[in-house]
Structure 1
């Protein structure tokens, strides 16, 4: 049995690729070192860095504030977990209403469009003020702050997510609907079994980006008076006159977002590779 031997041309190609790889590694190392030197010269090796480090990056203060900030962060996680469910359900309802065919559903389409336009235009902080304080005043009842937080997050982010889902529904080719109707499925069945699975798969990356944004905005429920991570950091800062607790809260939110961000990047790259597989010769 003869062993396959690569041609001279193939050997040259392999040597070229190896050389380019080594060159890329060296360039990356050099640029990283240059960046580190710039940071050290312009930030660390300055007269004010010691004061900044003491006021924002004090390890002792960080350890002291961590238990209270963590307890508040658990409230943020609770609001986030419930909001994911409520936003998904309400956004799916809005997207379905916006895509209903026929003139009889025109009022529903207009109402759904007006809702998405309103809450995509309103800053989230205004939604918190208007609804977070307005609902208890209107009903004259004491409502738990985490419930108000979930309501405000749902009102705002359901508008964004609904538009993403609607775009996914519109991106599904009409032949899919026609094929489903030809098989005897009604509108609801074709939407649930044929259109929505394809639509969600198409818009998963932007939906995950909305989820990352929602993770950050749940920190604003401190405006309502809830002792979440941000409010706990504010309390600690007022007690010790040091801003390190805010950095601790920020680090917790970043650690929460990083897995979702990396998962989004991975899934986006996988979709891109799958779509471009047939175009590479």
Structure 2
């Protein structure tokens, strides 16, 4: 047995390394304690200031009445389930239409220019038009043509969400596709893969990893905007809160609906932050910052 094979590598951290680890641990604990203390002090100051305002009593009765909240809970939570169903269906539709638009916009060759022009016009129009106007045009304009059977308003609200957010998602995906190095496409084609196969198996997986945080942010925005289907008359959480407010002359149901939307979005927001931090850590791995 040679000397190299018989040698035992000592992987025990040195005293200097152990001292550095202890210092980092102490610094981390101190930072957490300072953050907690400053947060508590700031929250206490805000609470004292708000409670001390002359109109706090009236605002508390109008917006934070526990009895009104409990009474409005069943109808508002039932409306929230409608929002969730619309969100699920719209997310699937946005994913399909967004991928198709991004694929069309990245087609090569002059023969595909009309398709690229149509896709670019689509994204320009629906990214520039407010969602509220799209809801009115789709929800009241298309049924007025008389070409389709009578459909519930949440259906047309879902169509408006798909039309609007697919334009945003398509541009995010297009940026991710164009960020993939051209050698990846050429390597896929050299292996005998056609355009669709190389896009599905090679290009899109890499593009999605690059733009996942941006796509998650669009999903969070859609979670919030799904409440706008109430303008079409669909009895979702916002519409239910409006009905309860009209019955009680109290705005607490709106606060309840807002808190439910926040609770619905929080997991996605935290997941987005985690994915962003994970991607940044991968990109900075091995570098000195």
Q: Which category describes the TM-score, using the shorter chain as reference length?
A: over 0.9
SS, match of residue 145 in structure 2 = helix
For the pair 1:250 / 2:239, whether they are aligned, the reply is: no
Deviations 1:235-271 (A, max 9, x none): 1001100000001111111111001111111111111
- Partner in structure 2 of residue 192 of structure 1: 200
Residue equivalent to 2:30: 23
Structure 1 stretch displaced more, 227-236 or 186-195: 186-195
Q: Report the equivalent of 1:228.
A: 236
Say whether residues 1:207 and 2:215 are aligned partners.
Answer: yes
Q: Deviations over 1:123-152 (max 9, x none)?
A: 000001111100000126422112101110
Measured after TM superposition, the shift of residue 277 of structure 1 is 1.1
Specify the alignment match of 1:60 in structure 2. Answer: 67
**Aligned counterparts of 1:167 and 1:126: Cα–Cα separation in 2:** 27
Distance between the aligned counterparts of 2:13 and 2:251, measured in 1? 65
Residue 100 of structure 2: which of 89, 93, 112 is its match? 93
| Equivalent in the alignment of 2:113 | 106
Question: Of residues 137, 148, 159 in structure 2, which corresponds to 1:151?
Answer: 159
| Structure 1 Cα separation of the partners of residues 259 and 179 of structure 2 | 38
Alpha carbons of 1:54 and 1:106: their partners in 2 closer, same or farther (altered >3 Å)? same
Q: Does 1:277 align with 2:285?
A: yes
- TM-score, normalised via structure 2 length: 0.91
Q: Are residues 187 and 23 of structure 1, via their aligned partners in 2, closer, same or farther at CA, if it must alter by over 3 Å?
A: same
Change (3 A) 1:229 1:22: closer
Indicate how the Cα distance of structure 1 residues 192 and 22 shifts in structure 2: closer, same or farther if over 3 A, else same: closer
Mapped partners of 1:235, 1:199: distance in 2? 45
Distance 1:135 1:77 in 2: 24
What is the distance in 2 between the residues matched to 1:90 and 1:133? 23
State the partner residue of 1:259: 267
For residue 101 of structure 1, give the secondary structure of its aligned residue in structure 2: coil
Give 1:98 deviation, angstroms. Answer: 0.4
SS in 2 for 1:217: helix
- Aligned residue pairs total 280
Instruction: Indicate yes or no: 2:113 matched with 1:127.
Output: no
Using a 3 Å threshold, how does the CA distance of structure 1 residues 136 and 276 change in structure 2: closer, same or farther?
Answer: same
Q: CA RMSD in A?
A: 2.0
- Structure 1: give runs of 5+ residues left out of the alignment: none
Matched residue SS, 2:50: helix
**CA separation in 1, counterparts of 2:18 and 2:174?**
51
The aligned residue for residue 178 of structure 1 is 186
Distance in 2 between residues matched to 1:17 and 1:187, nearest whole Å: 51
